[in-house]
Amino acid sequence: MKRFSIVVIALALLAPIVPATAAPKAQNEWTTTHKIVYVGLTPKDQPNFWTENQVDTTTATSDGEMLSYAKETVRDAITFWKQNSRGKMKFTTSKFFIGKSGTAIERCNPSADIKAGMKVAGLKTVPIGTHIVVVNIYDSCGYAGLGSQEGNAINLRSFGTTTLVHELGHNFGYRHSSAMFCGKSDYSKFNGTNCSVEEYGDFRDLMGFDDWCPNTTLSATQRATIFHTPLAKSIKIGVDTTVDESRMTTDNIVFEFPYKGNWYFFEYYVPAKGRCMSVSNLFYKPQLQLRMIGPAWTTAQGNAVGPMLITRNGSDLPAGETVLDEDGEPIPPPFFGTTLTGFQAGEVFKLPGAPYTLTVKSTGETSAVFTITKS
């Protein structure tokens, strides 16, 4: 019996994942009941791959053979999407099929694998709401998984829960959780020369670069823009807005502000101990996060750029008064060398691409207060 480490291959999610350009098929209509048809293709030299190989993973809650593990990832993914749609999404019983020996071929042909999977599952067409998930561990393409934007087919090479949740997200219409950075953290020079977009750059969720664990959520901005639950609330200019911590289930966890085709989203993130992945170069303090959609030059910087988290470099912030240690040596400022993924009480920030200013008034235990004013 071979043992496969799912943990290691799940990290390959950061490999390029290009969504297929399938015609929109209304996969995220709320009246649709979703169904997962899961097909494991079988390598010729391992005819019992799905039933004999053991899974050795720290992310799975059980340790068993591959097919049980696959079923567990599907259960976890369904739980994730139900939770993140606040119960709006409906799923019917999933179906599992194993292809006969020799169906997993090294050929880098995702659509041929989907066709092979449909044949194994006895499907001539894939109805709306059905998601055919085809696993080919011998795929030689450079992806861990491949979803289709608002489509209904998923190819997996790495079949951990993280990849499955992520690719289903594409089928439901999600784009990547991205991040943006402008040179020297100067967002007053807001253009394609000074600023760059990191397509998977948002640490906040697994449409970006976080991993799955039982408590993961998507950013409130992602949920609001696709599920509309919670609904993003409109900001009143010049009026204090209280925003609740973005993992809470209140109706005040994300606020939006449009300006000339750009959209600005504000949510409050309080780092918790139960994070799935720890990223040591980020500054973890309660923070008001600003995400943007648009202008066009930003989304043109990747295949599936979604909401972009505004990031800054702590070393770029004004130094303030130099503080010296006992030996008279200057102490580096507290944010030195860290990536700032949000704003804290007292900060003032001019919105990129709009004549408005964000002022963060307080960042408390469960909510923050901020104001947007014309500048």
Q: Where does this chain bind Zn ion (CB under 5 A)?
A: 17
Comparing CB distances to Zn ion, the nearer of 81 and 266 is 81
Residue 141 Cβ, how far from Zn ion at the closest point, in Å? 14
* Dihedral angle over CA of 164, 170, 171, 172, nearest 10: 110
DSSP string, 340-364: E-SB-TT-EEEPTTSSEEEEEEEE-
Interatomic CA distance for residues 341 and 210, integer angstroms:
14
Question: Residues 227, 85: contact at Cβ < 8 Å?
Answer: yes
The number of angstroms, rounded, from the C-alpha of 341 to the middle of its chain's C-alpha atoms is 15
CB of 177 to Zn ion, least distance (A): 10
Residue carrying the six token digits 């087919």: 153
Please say which residue, 17 or 168, places its beta carbon nearer to Zn ion: 17
Question: Minimum Å distance from CB 75 to Zn ion?
Answer: 21
Which of residues 17 and 132 has its CB atom nearest to Zn ion in the complex?
17
> In the complex with Zn ion, which residue's Cβ is closer, 167 or 244?
167
17/36 with CB nearer Zn ion: 17
CA angle 146, 149, 150 (to 5 degrees): 125
Of residues 17 and 77, the one with the C-beta less far from Zn ion: 17
Find the residue with minimal CB distance to Zn ion: 17
Least separation, in Å, of the C-beta of 18 and Zn ion? Answer: 8
Least distance to Zn ion, CB of residue 249, Å = 26
Please say whether the beta carbons of 285 and 344 come within 8 A: yes
The set of residues, in sequence order, having a beta carbon less than 8 Å from that of 287 and lying 6+ positions away, is: 268, 269, 270, 340, 341, 342, 343, 344, 363
CB atoms within 10 A of CB 362: 15
| CB-nearer residue toward Zn ion: 164 or 235 | 164
Q: One-letter amino acid identity for 357?
A: T
Task: Give the nearest distance from C-beta 27 to Zn ion in angstroms.
Answer: 15
Record the tokens describing residue 239, joined without a space. Answer: 């009026």
Nearer to Zn ion among residue 17 and residue 104 (C-beta): 17
Peptide bond into 110 cis (omega under 30): no
Q: What are phi and psi of 269, to 5 degrees?
A: -120, 120
Tell me how far, at minimum, the Cβ of 95 lies from Zn ion, in Å.
24
Distance CA 178, CA 196 (A): 11
CA separation for the pair 117, 99 (Å, rounded): 8
Segments in 122-227 forming alpha helices (H): 161-171, 220-226
Q: How far is the CB of 145 from Zn ion (least distance, A)?
A: 7
Nearest distance in Å: CB 167, Zn ion: 7
- Report the alpha-carbon distance of residue 252 to residue 126 in Å, rounded: 38
Q: Is 225 or 287 the residue whose CB approaches Zn ion more closely?
A: 225
